[in-house]
Amino acid sequence: MSTAIYYFSATGNSLVVAKDVAWGLEGVSLIPVSRAIDEGGVEQYDKVGLVFPVYMFGLPLIIKDFLKEAKFKPGAYIFSIATFGGMPGRVHSLARKILNRRGIDLACGFSVMMPGNYTPLYGAVSKEQQEEMFRKEKVRAKELSQFILEGKRGIYEEKPFLANLILYSLIYNIGSLGIPGAASGFWVKDTCIKCGLCAKVCPVDNIEMRDGKPYWFDHCQHCMACLQWCPAEAIQYKKSTEGRRRYHHPEIAQEDIRS
Ligand SMILES: Cc1cc2nc3c(=O)[nH]c(=O)nc-3n(C[C@H](O)[C@H](O)[C@H](O)COP(=O)(O)O)c2cc1C
């Protein structure tokens, strides 16, 4: 039985979950979702997993595109795992809906709480809180691997239902429309050391260095990788991110983000 896990991750949370779940399965190919969109190849796998962050109570746009376009093997067992900072939203319902329209079934959908990384709204949680979440994630990943290994179905985690439904309807449906152009809100302080790391970690290749400074194109996923990985904390988003504590998962190196 061949298995692939496709991941999208800006600060490493989803990548750690993808790696840990893969570890408990057999012979898994771990692949960035951007590569699947460019190169295909999904149809060769009997089991296909998607691991990604919750954005605005819904799916990152790149995950939506994957679900709409990927060529799955007929009858493939498809599972989704979302990482989230506080409210898991409606990601699995949305994923199911997209797949169902194509006559494809989503076997199960899980949500794993990890440190939030949306700096325009808040700074990173304390190291102690992070450690506690990381500890729980390791236990959870083993349980999920077992569930998937046994080919079980039917769990879609998105509680609390009503709050998620309302926030999803209000925020995702409107907010996600502006995501590709949201890169216009990024700017860089004079403390930029011109290292180019922001361009290297961008998982969708949306940044180019011009005269030593980052220039953002208009196919942004709003993932915050550029802002979170900047070693000088020079990258900001609009007016609210200055002085806020940055975050990326300590098990993940910058070269893992866009591999
Ligand atoms: C644009 C954006 C929107 C987000 N929206 C939500 C949300 O609606 N609910 C939530 O719990 N976390 C939200 N988060 C936090 C991430 O889902 C969470 O930190 C995730 O684990 C990050 O995964 P990554 O490190 O793999 O990128 C958001 C983060 C970003 C960048």
Asked if 241 and 247 count as a contact pair (C-beta separation under 8 A), the reply is no
pTM of the complete model beyond 0.75: yes
Same domain, 251 and 124: no
Same domain, 48 and 148: yes
Q: Which distant-in-sequence residues (6+ apart) come within 8 Å of 208 by Cβ? A: 199, 214, 215, 217
pLDDT tens digit sequence for 105-130: 999 999 999 999 999 999 999 999 99
DSSP for 176-241, please give it.
GGGTGGGGGGEEE-TT-----HHHHH-TT--EEEETTEEEE-S------HHHHH-TT--EEETTT-
176 lines ligand 1 (CB under 6 A): no
User: Cis peptide before 250, with omega less than 30 degrees from 0?
Assistant: no
Which among 154, 174, 194 is the end of a domain? 174
CA of 147 to the centre of ligand 1 (A): 24
Which of 191, 185, 187 has its CA nearest to residue 232? 191
Does residue 74 surpass a pLDDT of 70? yes
Same domain, 199 and 247: yes
Q: How many independent structural domains does the chain possess? A: 2
Q: What is the CATH number of the domain that holds 28?
A: 3.40.50.360
SS3 52: strand
| Tokens, residue 144 | 């999920």
Which among 174, 203, 218 is the end of a domain? 174
Range of the domain at 13: 3-174
The span from the CA of 80 to the CA of 65, in Å, is 14
SS3 32: strand
Instruction: Please name the residue whose Cα sits nearest to atom 4 of ligand 1.
Output: 55
pLDDT of residue 183: 94
Q: What is the CATH number of the domain that holds 230?
A: 3.30.70.20
Residue showing tokens 């179905």? 153
CA of 90 to the centre of ligand 1 (A): 13
Same domain, 205 and 164: no
Same domain, 137 and 14: yes
164 lines ligand 1 (CB under 6 A): no
pLDDT tens digit sequence for 17-70: 999 999 999 899 999 999 988 788 999 999 999 999 999 999 999 999 999 999
Same domain, 89 and 148: yes
Q: Which residue among 117, 171, 202, 251 has the greatest number of ligand 1 atoms within 8 angstroms of its CB, and so is best to mutate?
A: 117
Same domain, 35 and 110: yes
Same domain, 149 and 49: yes
Same domain, 8 and 93: yes
Q: Phi, psi (5° rounding) for residue 31? A: -135, 130
Closest ligand 1 atom, residue 223 Cα: 31
Which among 156, 174, 192 is the end of a domain? 174
